[in-house]
Structure formats: C-alpha cells, structure tokens
Chain A
Amino acid sequence: MTVISSVKNLEALSLSVVAEFDAGVERVWQIWEDPRQLERWWGPPTWPATFEKHDFVPGGEVTYYMTGPNGEKARGWWRFVAIEAPHRLEFDDGFSDDNGDPVADMGAVRGVVTLEPIGDRTRMTVHSTFEAEEQMEEIVAMGMEEGMKQALGQVDAILAEHANA
C-alpha cells in the first residue's frame, strides 16, 4: 500500500495524506518539478491533466486543464508560495474559467508537500486545506475515478431523495 496514513480535520477542512515511495527524494521531487511527469499522475485516467504553463519558482504560476470523457475541459491554476528543493513545496490550487482566469469566488486549496528520506525511499506528506465545502465538492467531482464517483454519487442521490421525501 502506497499510502500509509491519513488524518482529517473536519473543522479546519484539512486532509493530510502520507505516502511512501521506492525512490529517492531527488527523484520524487521531479514528479512535481517536471510538468510532463506531473500530467502523468495529477488527473485520473478519465480526466487527464495538461499543464500549459509551469513556472516552478516561488511566486510562479501554473495553468493547466483536465479533459473529461466527453472532451469537456476544466481549467485550473496554481501559484507556488514556497519552493525549497527537494524537500518542501507550498502552493495554492484553484479553478479557472474558460478564458483561463482564476474563479475568485471558488477560493483556493493550500497544499503543502514535504519529502523526507527514509533510507533510499521517500516519505511524501501532502497537507491540503480547503476554504469551503462547496469548493471541495467541485474538486472532488473532477478529481475522482469515474467508477468510485458513480458509486458515491448513487448513494448520495438516494440520500438526497430520501431527505426530501
């Protein structure tokens, strides 16, 4: 199992996920630094990501889009807050409109990534903090594998139906 632990804070709307990889810290850093590697894993196979701009410096901006199963595009932006190669990365992650401009009222997710060596392996911790529940809903809708999303959505619809009955 790649992910070894996770911690959720309901009040702070935050999630920490800890994963361990069979590769050194320098190698794992590249999956964040290199947009061609980043787009291999950021989006699920059903919503692959394409990074158009990836200015990997503090204050630098990223623009990307994810392409859905019916060809629809969902655009997003990042802004790097801090970069301390190869151990720590802090960035804001939000949605953009069709023109690529940030959707201000959606807010951003603050992500803090830390890489620690464990022998010749790497422990990666990703701490994400949301601003609002609505924002989480949008992100979750696009970031998840289709099958699981349908499974959860199905149960959700049933619960909503029942609540309104």
Chain B
Amino acid sequence: MDRLFQAFADATRRDIVRRVTTGEYSVSGLAALYTMSFAAVQKHVAVLERASLVTKEKRGREQIVRANHDGLQKARRLLDEYEVIWRQRSERIADLLAETGPPTTP
C-alpha cells in the first residue's frame, strides 16, 4: 500500500495533518482532541511520519508534531496520486478478468 495513500485514507490522520499545518501540537495535545487512546493517536502520527507528511521532535517530556512541507513536494504527490489511479485500474481489470473468464470462440 502506498504510504501517502494510506496516510490520507483515514479521517483522523487527515485532521491531524490539517491541525499541524496551522500550528504545532504535542502528541498528548492531539490525543486530548479525539475519543481514542494516546497509543492510537501515536500510531496515527507514526503513519504520517512514515509518509513524510509530519515530523516529530522530542521536547522535554513532550513529542512535538509539525507539518513536513518538503514531504508534500508537488511532483511526488502527483506521482503518488497517479499511482492510486493505476491501482484502481488494476483492481477493475482483475474484476473484469474474473467476470468474463477465458474467451470463448463462437
């Protein structure tokens, strides 16, 4: 699964990206916003970090999350989106092949 695709596929992660682009948040600060555990929020942040959408930095006892603007570089993002198109096409091809089976000659 493409990392960016995966990162954006979840509403909480999209919300985290939206929040950290307008300011910095600690992981515990983010956790207070959602009805889920600190560990669950930490996992979402880790997914975003792997997709290079956010960076995480230790400050004292807190972990500060910020948007990673370099990671949102246009060409990369567009290629990622184009990849999603081909993944969706491939799924449709697989469905079509499964449906029609082997060709029959009249």
Contact = CB atoms under 8 A, between A and B. Distances in A.
Contact of B8 (A21, A137, A151, A162): A151
A19 B83 CA distance: 12
A156 to B, nearest CB: 8
Contacts of A99: none
Which one of B8, B17, B77 has the highest number of Cβ atoms from chain A below 10 Å of its Cβ? B77
A106 interface: no
Given A10-B76, A27-B102, A140-B78, A17 B8 contact: no
Interface of A: 2-3, 6, 8, 10, 13, 15, 17, 19, 21-24, 26-28, 30-31, 37, 40-42, 44, 124, 126, 128, 133, 136-137, 139-140, 143-145, 148, 151-152, 154-155, 158-159, 162-163, 165
Interface of B: 2, 5, 8-9, 14, 17-18, 21-22, 67, 69, 72-94, 96-98, 100, 102-103
